[in-house]
Amino acid sequence: MEAANIGGGREADVAPAPDPTGGRAAGFWTPADPGPLGLAGFAGTTFVLSMMNANLVSDKGVGVVLALALAYGGVAQLLAGMWEFRTGNTFGAVAFSSFGAFWISFFFLIRVIPADAITPHGVSLYLWMWAIFTTYMFLASLRTTGAVALVFLLLAITFVLLAIGDMGGGHSSITHAGGYVGIATAIVAWYASFAAVINSTFGRVVAPVFPLKR
């Protein structure tokens, strides 16, 4: 059996067919896994922003990213983090709550904060902070699954590249590189979300997530 949730808090990624009573008849309630929602919200928002960072799509459409950042990457992922607390999954709770807050803060950074209050070096510092957080979460992810660990590894690299790109001196090529790694990050996160959903729905391992030894 392969752990599919982001922190390995539940025993396996293969769940029995859903109980239409939700477990209430037996006197208890078993919550659904919020991990796939959190991963999907993160992946979708990261993909769209990374397409712009890679210069594959004009950044004039940044409003699309901001809408996703607030609703899907932000609120939906923050809710997934809160629900992970309910399941007892510390890793998932910290990861989803933090990155939900990241996307909400990104929305405020671009849309609300006055432009003259933001400097490239300030944005770089912001990204370095997230690179540090993602790096230590990557270390913790080495006891979850290979799919989740790869998401955090690629995301840490993405933040580092974007932070360097915003340090000044015209490092647009590094920002573009960060965009491409961000696209790869989103694809892996989508796969991890897909695997958790389809394995649970089918009641067997359809898409492996490569559990790591605890």
Phi first, then psi: give them for residue 185, nearest 5 degrees.
Answer: -60, -45
Look at residue 45 and tell me whether its pLDDT is greater than 70: yes
User: At 10, is the pLDDT very low, low, confident or very high (cuts 50, 70, 90)?
Assistant: very low
Structural domain contains residue 134: yes
pTM of the complete model:
0.88
The answer to whether residue 134 scores a pLDDT higher than 80 is: yes
pLDDT surpasses 50 at 27: yes
Choice between 5 and 137, residue whose per-residue pLDDT is larger: 137
Provide the number of structural domains found in the chain. 1
Within a domain: 157? yes
Within-domain flag for 151: yes
For residue 89, name the pLDDT band (cuts at 50, 70, 90): very high
- Confirm if 151 and 137 have CB atoms less than 8 A apart: no
Q: Looking at the predicted structure, is the pLDDT value of residue 137 above 70?
A: yes
**Does a structural domain hold residue 208?**
no
Identify the band that residue 21 occupies on the pLDDT scale cut at 50, 70 and 90.
Answer: very low
Per-residue pLDDT band for 7 (boundaries 50, 70, 90) equals low
| Number of residues written out for the chain | 214
Q: What is the mean pLDDT of the chain?
A: 89
Say whether pLDDT at 15 is over 80. no
> Which of 84, 53, 36 shows the shortest CA–CA distance to 191?
36
Domain span at residue 196 reads: 32-202
Question: Which pLDDT score, from 0 to 100, does residue 169 have?
Answer: 64
Model confidence at 16, pLDDT cuts 50, 70, 90, reads: very low
Q: Is residue 89 part of a domain?
A: yes
- Which parts of the chain fold into alpha helices (H)? 35-53, 62-70, 77-87, 90-107, 120-141, 146-165, 172-202
Residue 24 lies in a domain: no
In a domain, 15, yes or no: no
How far is the CA of 87 from the CAs of 44, 84, 178, 182, 192, in angstroms?
24, 5, 34, 29, 19
> What integer pLDDT is reported at residue 48 of this predicted model?
98
Quick one: pLDDT at residue 90?
Answer: 97
